[in-house]
Chain A
Amino acid sequence: MTNNEPQGVSRRAIIRTIGSAPALAAAAATEASPQNAAKPVYRRKVFDDRQWRTVEVLCDLIVPADERSVSASHAGVPEFIDDWLDFRKREDGNDVLASQILGGLSWLDGESNRQFGRDFAAAAPAQQKQLLDRIAWPEKAAAEDHRWVVFFSRFRDLTVSGFFSSKAGIGDLPYLGNKAVSEWKGCDPAVWAVIEKRLTEPRR
């Protein structure tokens, strides 16, 4: 019952097969489409103009540009979050998440106005930092800020996952897959050597 092909021949055949598979062709077409040129203008579903300004600023405070990649707003994260909140409303049949985010943004602007006399988006970087430091560290935050800590954790998750699942964000991560590999060799010996060294070190 074994009519296996000889292995050497088949590897080329496979790559050829994969290369000619319509699925790959379709995928390649999607990747190659002139995204920037054809990109439609995003129509917001959840955030109003004031909230949008806050979201853009907040996203970039969480994931700013650095030497490896662009900032969250450059990667389309505000659009992703707006779309995600709308999606969850429909999918979950409630607006608990959207309300939490919108309520948190209101608190942020309210608090910024109380302390600095202007909206969060318009506040000075040091003022923004002062507010975020109150809610960005769950263990260190004051008990009365708990709701806003939870809000910020949700917002941070949305920003982070929106960024690192974007094309720019995936390029930033040490992810090398989603492609055909001609021979699977398991864990790279050089990587395993690092792990093994750590295994013998005292607990980190």
Chain B
Amino acid sequence: MQARTSPKTYDVVIVGSGAGGGVAAHVLALAGAKICMLEAGGWYDAAKQSDMFKWPYNAPHRAAGTREKPFGYYDATLLGGWQVPGEPYTNARGSDFQWYRARMLGGRTNHYGRISLRMGPYDFKPYSRDGKGFDWPIAYDDLAPYYDKAEELIGVFGSAEGLENTPDGRFLPPPAPRGYERVIQRACQHLHIPCVPSRLAILTKPLHGRPACHYCGECGRACAVNANFSSPGVHIAPAMKTGNLEVRTGAMAREVVLGPDGRARGVSYIDKKDRSEQTVYGKVVVLAASCCETARILLNSKSSRAPDGVANSSGLVGRYLMDTVGSSVSGFLPILEDLPPQNEDGVGGMHLYMPWWNYQAQKDGKMPFARGYHIEIGGGRSLPGAGILGGSERILGGGYGVELKRNLRKIYGANVHFSGRGEMIPNEKSYCEIDPNAVDQWGIPVLRFHFEWSQDEILQAKHMQETFQEIVTTAGGKVLSSAGAERNWGISRGGEIIHEVGATRMGDNARTSVLNSYCQAWDCKNLFVTDAAPFISNADKNPTLTITALGWRTSDYIVDQMKKGNL
């Protein structure tokens, strides 16, 4: 028998424990709010579960990626990928969107690339600059103090460069570049492409009781000592210490429950343990389930009061979905052949990168596409796993035997890799909606995606291909893999870069946006979103740092409004 007492009401219910849920829990718990957080996946503790230092030969198939573990056997994502068992999604005819989810405490922050780039002043007002897309309702100066706070808490290394639309931050010292990175930097100098220390959320000095990096190069496996940023280690653990945060794992949010006054009363969810339906009540509801999952929850929250879903009187929930433009080139640099041995692991990511450098040419109308990209680099003597030294005939011409073996040793680590990460302009043809037929194994209707690149993105990918190949040849190298017009310049599939943003856009007008400038639903004032769904544009600056800064700002606003009795 269930007790007939009135249900417990938390101050705040947060859906999701990744970058957006983590920052909200951290700020709100430290401010004294009693919180219940719902996480659709299981508990995760990197100190116990990270596969740090393990060798690929001790894993199945040399730790190769699979459908279930796309980033390899040792990747931190325990349950997740572009396909999650029992939790499908569909694509409309002609679309091929790929939706990555990480069902675990901390979500994608456990394995992500830790790239932490501030959006710049232009990035908040792109429409004003080139007439495409939309402006944000806030400006860089509104978010700058929160970028400061976010960087000071999570720890980001970098260097002050003073580059256009590439704001410097509160940086820890950057790690010295690897040999191959310095070679690439030289080539970039010739081509007048800036190549500067990267900006990653990895500690190069101890911070808030967390140790500095030990440079094993495998941040994607999660860090057992908490030397890189992840939501469980940096946001959730301190929030739980306050005693104000309760986390319910295996809790698959279904919908936002409205009260008779039209305000959010709580969230109903499926408890995955016994498939029972539960409801948790709160004075404030924060959705941070990830961009598309947040849109899905709102669209599934249908009632007579909200026939098209909660917070959707504008009809814009799910609309203007964006991902990042990706395209890659790899090359072989003879100058790196047969060098004396050295450890090139470093941090789990690049030590140098190339921020976008053609702002003025674009302003002058000299570029065939709008918006820019940055270049991420890789290569060198990385951990030998599945596929190591594959395709060697492109370098050595073929062969076998003792001579081949000797030559392979020489070319190991002489490869370099370039990936462009560029801005997509929001368009009418890219959105998600509820599939009229399909449900997941919990009985919750699933998303159906529509996705299309525009010429701006495709021409950007072309520019990436041409630029990367030019860098390789300038460094005296040979291009090993590239893509031409027949493959749309190697442009990534929608969702492949895992930077979905924009499905519950913020704005300054209730008719043209879902959320106001504090990421508060226009239709439901005690409902907020702190993941990447409020984004108006998707600058080439990877979303996570902006999620944590914007989520902090939203959380501060919630605290302020609660204190004033407005929620």
Which residues of chain B from 125 to 150 have any CB-CB distance to chain A below 8 Å in the complex?
149
Give the residue among B57, B347, B397 with the most A Cβ atoms within 10 A: B57
| Contact in complex: B215, A63 (CB < 8 Å) | no
Map CB proximity to B onto A25-61 as digits: 1 under 8 Å, 0 otherwise. 0110011000000000000000000000000000001
* Interface residue from A156, A169, A190 paired with B340 (Cβ < 8 Å): A190
Assembled-state Cα–Cα distance A24/B386 (Å)? 22
Set A14, A138, A170, A176: member contacting B55, Cβ < 8 A: A170
B275 at the interface (CB under 8 A from A): no
Task: Number of B interface residues at 8 Å Cβ cutoff, please give it.
Answer: 87
Q: A22, A83, A91, A165: which contacts B66 (Cβ < 8 A)? A: A91
Asked if A174 contacts B389 (CB within 8 A), the reply is: no
Q: Is the CB of B51 within 8 A of A23?
A: yes
Please give, as numbers and ranges, the residues of chain A lying within 8 Å of B53 by CB-CB distance.
23-24, 27, 178-180
A146-194 residues at the B interface, CB under 8 angstroms: 153, 156-157, 160-162, 164-167, 169-170, 172-182, 184-188, 190-192, 194
Tell me if B62 and A165 are in contact (CB < 8 A). Answer: yes
The residue from A21, A62, A181, A204 contacting B224, defined by CB atoms under 8 A apart: A21
- Complex Cα distance A186/B389, Å? 24
Smallest CB gap from B62: residue in A: A165
Interface segment out of the listed A1-9, A94-102, A103-111, A115-123: A1-9
Contact residues, B310-353 vs A (CB, 8 A): 334-336, 339-347, 351
In the bound complex, CA of A190 to CA of B344 (Å)? 14
**Residues in A whose Cβ lies below 8 Å from that of B336:** 195
Residue contact A185 to B335, C-beta cutoff 8 Å: no
Check A195/B206 contact, CB under 8 A, given A62-B404, A161-B390, A185-B176. Answer: no
B443: shortest Cβ distance to chain A, in Å?
28
CB pair A136–B399 under 8 Å, yes or no, is yes
CB closest chain-B residue, reference A9: B206
Contact indicator A157/B179 (Cβ below 8 Å): no
Of B216, B387, B413, the contact of A180 (CB 8 Å cutoff): B216
Q: Closest CB of chain B to A10's CB: distance in Å?
A: 4
Contact, CB under 8 Å: B384 / A165: yes
A178 to B215, CA, bound (A): 8
A164 touches B341 (CB 8 A): no
Partner pick for B225 among A18, A87, A166, A169, CB 8 A cutoff: A18
State whether B384 touches A7 (Cβ < 8 A): no
> Is residue A66 within 8 Å, beta carbon to beta carbon, of the partner chain?
yes
A160 contacts B389, C-beta separation under 8 Å: yes
Judge if B302 is at the interface, Cβ distance under 8 Å: no
Contact B387 A138 (CB under 8 A): no
Q: Mark A53-95, 1 if CB is under 8 A from B, else 0.
A: 0000000011110101000000000001001100100010000
Q: How far is the CB of A8 from chain B (nearest CB, A)?
A: 11
Can you name the residue of chain A whose Cβ is closest to the Cβ of B217?
A177
B224 touches A137 (CB 8 A): no
Partner of A161, one of B213, B341, B346, B387: B387
Closest to A87 in B: B61
Interface centre among A4, A17, A23, A140 (most CB of B within 10 A): A23
For the complex, is B91 an interface residue (Cβ under 8 Å from A)? no
Across the interface, do A177 and B216 meet the contact criterion of CB distance under 8 Å?
yes
- From residue B185, how far is it (CB to closest CB) to chain A in Å? 11
B305 at the interface (CB under 8 A from A): no
Partner pick for A160 among B64, B149, B392, B397, CB 8 A cutoff: B392
Query: Contact at A178–B55, with CB atoms within 8 Å?
Result: yes
B346 engages A22 (CB within 8 Å): no
Q: Which of B58, B211, B215 contacts A30 (CB 8 A)?
A: B58
CB distance from A11 to the nearest CB of B (A): 8
A-B contact pairs, 20 of them (CB 8 A): A2-B152, A14-B211, A84-B61, A137-B398, A164-B384, A165-B386, A170-B55, A174-B342, A175-B341, A175-B383, A177-B345, A177-B381, A178-B217, A178-B218, A179-B343, A182-B214, A186-B175, A186-B351, A191-B179, A199-B183
Q: A10-B206, A187-B178 given. 5 additional CB < 8 A pairs?
A: A7-B206, A160-B392, A161-B387, A181-B215, A187-B176
